[in-house]
Amino acid sequence: MTAKPYIYVTRQLPAEIIEKLRRFAEVGVWPSEERPVPRDVLLREAAKADGLFAMLSDRIDEELLSAAKRLKVVANLGVGYDNIDVGKATELGVAVCNTPDILTDTTADLTMALILMAGRRLGEALECVKNGRWKSWSPFFMAGTDIHHKTLGIVGMGKIGEAVAERARGFSMKVLYHNRHRKPEAEKRLGAVYRSFDDLLRESDYVVCLTPLTDETRGMFDREAFKKMKPSAFFINVARGAVAVEEDLIEALEKGEIAGAGLDVFAEEPVRPDHPLLKMKQVVPLPHIGSASTETRWAMMERCAENLEAVLSGRPPVNVVNP
């Protein structure tokens, strides 16, 4: 009888998911749902693991991969995988799996929520009621900016971008998009219109960033980009914090070069409580919860387990990102 492979799970997960893994593997689990696994523990466990069930807060870099001699697969709980050195993994024959598709609608819903929150000042309004600052109905009390019939500019027209465009149609928005490649099918189906990055910035009332973090996209929303936006426009980021230069965003908000921002992601997460962005009333900050519905998180965990089982039993996984 051959020994079962060893999987290390970097966060406490529901017993049902761990059970599912135990059917085909020995399983080690970092015993906290909130605290990420410390680096030294991750390195030690990865060195003896055949599979890693990883979170996007785990750095799966060259140091880890080179020392993980038995490793065959990393299943990342998320669609993004910028925490993983995919080039090195590929060179070493390690499959990198993610969880696309199943989180598309949930993340698109959250994107619309951020647009609504930022435009209609919902966070501020909520605070106001809770803190007893609602004194009377008055004509411009908590008046925000409309969403309907405005122009939405989507940067990064992947599946989530398309799902946002679909929702935006329900709000009678005009949809522009910018992407590495044009998407004629999406243009036809969703009425989305292609624009260069600069034109999209100039024309949009809500600029939504949904691009993956790569060498190409890191810092693409910088001082110059924010200057091109309308002073009445909002920047919405549901991708990765590092796609924007935070100091430049702060400057643009301070100078009134843009009206506000909705941010589900930050360059450093969790964002420190004294971060200048958190002090601005025109910024709606969320704690990276794009795909965080219970249904979707279950589906993502199930998918990671399926991907691990497939690779460790010599079958192709459902999702693999290596070229």
**Which residue ranges make up the site for ligand DGY (CB under 6 A)?**
56, 78-80, 103, 288, 290-291
Indicate the residue among 82 and 203 with the shorter CB distance to ligand DGY. 82
Query: Considering the complex, what minimum distance in angstroms separates the CB of residue 64 from ligand DGY?
Result: 19
Residue with smaller CB distance to ligand DGY, 29 or 265:
265
Q: What's the token pair of residue 162?
A: 């398309």
Q: Which is nearer to ligand DGY, 128 or 318 (CB)?
A: 318
To the query of whether residue 288 is one of the catalytic residues in this protein, the response is: yes
> Which of 167, 288 has the CB closer to ligand DGY?
288
Please confirm, yes or no, whether 181 is among the known catalytic residues. no
Cis status, amide bond into 5, omega within 30 of 0: no
Least distance between ligand DGY and beta carbon 73 (Å) = 18
Rounded least distance, CB 266 to ligand DGY, Å: 12
Among candidate residues 167, 178, 240, 303, the one labeled active-site is 240
**Would you call 187 helix, strand, or coil by DSSP?**
helix
Three-class SS state of 144: coil
Closest distance to ligand DGY from the beta carbon of 140 (Å): 36
Q: Are 242 and 126 in contact (CB under 8 A)?
A: no
Cα 12 to Cα 16: distance, rounded to the nearest angstrom: 11
Identity of the amino acid at 109: D
Catalytic member of 195, 288, 297, 303: 288
Helix (H, G, I), strand (E, B) or coil at 221: strand
- What is the amino acid identity at position 323? P
Sequence-ordered list of residues with C-beta below 8 angstroms from that of 38, at least 6 positions apart, any chain? none
127 is catalytic: no
Residue 255 beta carbon to ligand DGY: minimum distance, rounded to whole angstroms: 29
In the chain the beta strands, taken as DSSP E runs, fall at 6-9, 26-29, 51-54, 73-76, 95-97, 151-155, 174-178, 193-194, 206-209, 234-237, 260-263, 283-285
> Based on CB atoms, which residue is closest to ligand DGY, 262 or 290?
290
List the catalytic residues: 240, 269, 288
